[in-house]
A and B are shown apart, each in its own frame.
Chain A
Amino acid sequence: MGTLNPISDGDDERTELQRLIRRLDPDPENAWQKYRDLRERLVKFFQWNQSQDPEESADEVLDRVGRKPDEEEIRNVAEFVIGVARNVLREGYKKSQRESHIDGWEGGGESLAEPRDREEEIVSGLDHHTRLEALRRCLEDLKPEERSLAIDYYSAVEEKQKEHRRKLAAAAGVTMITLRVRANRLRDRLENCVDNGLHARRSQARPLDT
């Protein structure tokens, strides 16, 4: 992509990252945004493909793309990333198959997590109210028009959802797709806000380790 200065031998992680960034866009600001977007998509790709560690796998893809020497031209970064992502996914499957085989002999590693999951579920049942209060607080932090959109968009039951959202889009003077993307960005913000609020609360409640 464009003219790139060759990177000298002895590349470290930083130079790999710099190389990747430059491959994404010649403008550094755009490139960082593209990097964040790409990483987000890769994390979801691995999540949707039931990878054991989506974040780590996404970083592995980006590392590999960054490690590719400048001399080897990448005509289409997106296509190249997709190919690398599929390779990492396949390797992950093979690795987890091997591990589950070994776990099977040892009594199953993941299955040990189940009793803790059940306990977690009981505890989480108790924090429904806390979560509700956290969401109320997060809604309060939104601008009035954002709050209205979040509430209106998600208030319809499934069978009336399409018509309801069509009316909302018409009222806002935007397409259904634009409205959907806006509402989901708001939802992401709210979900992160609730998670952060709960995390902060748990951190405060947890006694300090001595």
Chain B
Amino acid sequence: MTNNGGLMRRYLLGTATEAERIAVENDYLANGEAFHQLKAAENDLIDSYARGELAIAEKEAFEKRYLTSPPVSTRTSAQGRSRVKFASVLREITKEAALSPSPKEAGILEKLLAMFRAASVSPKWRLAAACAIVLVGGLISLKVLSHRGGGPSEASRHPDRQQSNHPGPAEHANEPGAGTESGTPQIVARNDEPAAHDFTAQLEPDAARAVGSGLQTLAAPSHTAWLNLGVVVDEDEARPLAAVVETPEGNQVFRTDRGELTTSQRGRVLHVRVPAARIPAGDYILEVKANDETVASCSFRLAYK
């Protein structure tokens, strides 16, 4: 039974035959693994319902089985509703974490916009650029929406949860050593914009920091969904770069090879977008790696205010 997803789903929805039902029950009442498989199948079913992925007949059966009172008791239907709500928030948080938009995508769009704006371009090329902008923008939107498992209705249900796909340059970076006291944590970034879900900070590599200057601290608002972290890297580094966030004990909590390199007055800066759900308050080390060789390392303390 444990490998028969269809049978488990039919049992849970109450559409299995009598013989199937008895077989499933005999199995899970006597066998712990079968029971856990069935519970897992139930969680998947609840997730599918919360995502609007069930076919009409399944959706109706699910609502009858889990949410409607009667036939199920008021307490059971309340539990069912609570589990669907849990599935919704779990979905929202895992989407935030998994949806790591590629800065390259935003970069392409910006380049096309710049091309469109350029006065020297002929009308024919302007038209071509406009078409390309619409096409690329549409593709990116489709990718983002499909990643979120919703459509326009999903977006409109949670307008306050829209993410910016444009991790711009560091907006709240402090100059190294400014306002620091020896040995005390240094607050390097703070973003108190109430509506923002992105928090941007530029980290100082450990090698460039004065001895005893304390841990650099990021004080992000509690509603932060994304951390845009910038790290200055060597001008001459030409290899592809990856960014890894680890705990001081060496547990990797996030890794991406989708950072965006920009050039600022301070040199080349690698920008990475890290889902806040992945890194709760605590101490971390962000390492920039080229072919698994560490080329920059920044220790920091993250706090949510």
A-side residues, CB < 8 A to B, are 37, 40-42, 44-45, 47-48, 50-54, 78-79, 81-82, 85, 100, 110-111, 113-114, 117, 120-121, 124, 128, 131-133, 135-136, 139-140, 143-145, 147-148, 150-152, 154-158, 161, 177, 180-181, 183-185, 187-188, 190-191, 194-195
Check if B51 sits within 8 Å of A158, measured CB to CB. yes
Q: Which residue of B lies closest to A137 (CB)?
A: B280
Residues of B72-100 contacting chain A, CB below 8 A: 72-78, 81-83, 85-86, 88-95, 97-98
B-side residues, CB < 8 A to A, are 2, 11-12, 14, 25-26, 28-30, 32-33, 35-40, 43-44, 47-48, 51, 53, 65, 69-78, 81-83, 85-86, 88-95, 97-98, 146-147, 149, 222, 247, 251-253, 277-278, 280-281
Most-contacted residue by chain A among B12, B39, B48, B78 (CB, 10 A)? B39
Q: Which residue of B lies closest to A77 (CB)?
A: B30
Q: Which residue of A lies closest to B5 (CB)?
A: A162
Seed contacts A139-B280, A140-B280, A151-B98; 6 additional CB < 8 Å A-B pairs: A37-B35, A82-B26, A124-B85, A151-B97, A181-B33, A183-B40
Q: Which residue of B lies closest to A53 (CB)?
A: B73
Check if B37 sits within 8 Å of A114, measured CB to CB. no
Name the A residues within 8 Å of B28 (CB-CB).
41, 44-45
Check if A151 sits within 8 Å of B277, measured CB to CB. yes
Name the B residues within 8 Å of A51 (CB-CB).
73
Check if A147 sits within 8 Å of B43, measured CB to CB. no
Instruction: Give, as a whole number of angstroms, the nearest-CB distance from A36 to chain B.
Output: 11
Q: Roughly how many angstroms separate A133 CA and B89 CA in the complex, as a whole number?
A: 9
Instruction: Give, as a whole number of angstroms, the nearest-CB distance from B29 to chain A.
Output: 5
Q: Roughly how many angstroms separate A189 CA and B276 CA in the complex, as a whole number?
A: 21
Instruction: Give, as a whole number of angstroms, the nearest-CB distance from B257 to chain A.
Output: 16
Instruction: Give, as a whole number of angstroms, the nearest-CB distance from B259 to chain A.
Output: 19
Q: Roughly how many angstroms separate A82 CA and B28 CA in the complex, as a whole number?
A: 10
Check if A135 sits within 8 Å of B93, measured CB to CB. yes
Selected contact of B76 from candidates A37, A47, A82, CB within 8 Å: A47
Check if A37 sits within 8 Å of B32, measured CB to CB. yes
Q: Roughly how many angstroms separate A154 CA and B72 CA in the complex, as a whole number?
A: 28
Q: Specify the main secondary structure of chain B where it touches its partner.
A: helix
Check if A151 sits within 8 Å of B29, measured CB to CB. no
Q: Which residue of B lies closest to A164 (CB)?
A: B98
Q: List 25 A-B contacts (CB under 8 A).
A: A41-B29, A45-B28, A48-B11, A50-B76, A78-B30, A82-B25, A110-B73, A113-B74, A128-B85, A128-B89, A135-B93, A140-B280, A140-B281, A143-B251, A144-B251, A145-B251, A147-B253, A147-B278, A148-B278, A152-B98, A155-B95, A158-B51, A161-B44, A181-B40, A190-B86
Name the B residues within 8 Å of A152 (CB-CB).
98
Instruction: Give, as a whole number of angstroms, the nearest-CB distance from B21 to chain A.
Output: 9
Name the A residues within 8 Å of B94 (CB-CB).
150-151, 154-155
Q: Roughly how many angstroms separate A100 CA and B73 CA in the complex, as a whole number?
A: 12
Selected contact of B39 from candidates A44, A131, A135, A148, CB within 8 Å: A44
Check if A184 sits within 8 Å of B39, measured CB to CB. yes
Q: Roughly how many angstroms separate A148 CA and B83 CA in the complex, as a whole number?
A: 21
- Counting from the closest, the 7 A-B pairs by CB-CB distance are A155-B98, A140-B280, A155-B94, A78-B30, A184-B40, A144-B251, A151-B97
Check if B40 sits within 8 Å of A82, measured CB to CB. no
Name the B residues within 8 Å of A41 (CB-CB).
28-29, 32, 35
Name the B residues within 8 Å of A194 (CB-CB).
86, 89
Q: Which residue of A lies closest to B65 (CB)?
A: A50
Q: Roughly how many angstroms separate A86 CA and B92 CA in the complex, as a whole number?
A: 39
Q: Roughly how many angstroms separate A111 CA and B69 CA in the complex, as a whole number?
A: 8
Q: Which residue of A lies closest to B75 (CB)?
A: A53
Check if B89 sits within 8 Å of A132, measured CB to CB. yes
Check if B89 sits within 8 Å of A154, measured CB to CB. no
Selected contact of B25 from candidates A45, A131, A140, A195, CB within 8 Å: A45
Q: Which residue of A lies closest to B275 (CB)?
A: A151
Check if B69 sits within 8 Å of A157, measured CB to CB. no
Name the A residues within 8 Å of B83 (CB-CB).
191
Q: Roughly how many angstroms separate A155 CA and B83 CA in the complex, as a whole number?
A: 17
Name the B residues within 8 Å of A177 (CB-CB).
2, 33, 37
Q: Roughly how many angstroms separate A32 CA and B25 CA in the complex, as a whole number?
A: 22
Name the B residues within 8 Å of A111 (CB-CB).
70
Instruction: Give, as a whole number of angstroms, the nearest-CB distance from B4 to chain A.
Output: 13
Q: Which residue of A lies closest to B79 (CB)?
A: A47
Name the B residues within 8 Å of A79 (CB-CB).
30
**A155 and B97 contact, Cβ closer than 8 Å, known pairs A48-B12, A131-B86, A177-B2:** yes
